[in-house]
Structure 1
């Protein structure tokens, strides 16, 4: 099975460029109304961008993605946060550490979707028991 988000956007190419430039995704399919992206490194995360007004979407749902947060886990969020800020990417939430086991920054993609860029850190004692035995959040 494969599962990936398809995000409606008003500018497919700008949104696709954002994920290619800042997160290293490669294009696997590209039209003026739909772009599919896949990351070259395992586990090969995928995301797709779709013109929110495209006729393949039921008429009542032809709106850009809203209320969506895309999580992208990276090795060093501090380095990437600096690069994103230097590139002028809109920062929705400044870089910070959370007791639930994340150091992260939240940015906005060109379509308005929030992208939570995360590096896992040890959780506080308050949250440690909330994790599954293998350490993965569930």
Structure 2
């Protein structure tokens, strides 16, 4: 039986990445070492971990910083988050906008280059509403 699942992002600067997610999204460290930090959000139990890409626990040839990854974080108020993130100098790579598939979102970049898609669900257009069946296929 599956008991947990969460992404682990390889990085060259565990401390900076951990600080980013704590400061800007309210995550708290539940385990912290210089090579690995496990983060959990206290309001939702969402988890994210950061691992030094050079750590010997990673098989040889696979220790590369995360790239091509999009971390989705759903919040109650993306407008307030977008304003707060921009004011804090977080790099915005896609400005706040509505999508017909049911999201209002802004995409920012974390210190290691991973994209963070900050989302508030909105009503999807009729074209996409039918795709929401309520069950995964």
TM-score (norm 2): 0.95
Shift of residue 96, structure 1, vs aligned partner: 0.3
Alignment-derived partner of residue 22 in structure 2: 20
- Consecutive unaligned residues in structure 2, runs of 5 or more: none
1:35-114 to structure 2, matched below 5 A, reads 35-42=37-44, 44-114=45-115
Question: Hey, what's the Cα distance between the residues in 2 that align with 1:100 and 1:8?
Answer: 30
* Structure 1: runs of 5+ lacking an equivalent: none
RMSD: 1.2
Aligned to 1:34: 36
Deviation at 1:38, TM superposition (A): 0.5
Alignment partners' CA distance in 2, 1:6 and 1:94:
26
Query: Which portions of structure 1, spanning 4 or more consecutive aligned residues, are displaced by more than 4 angstroms?
Result: none
Aligned-partner Cα distance in 2 for 1:105–1:53 = 31
Equivalenced residues, count = 135
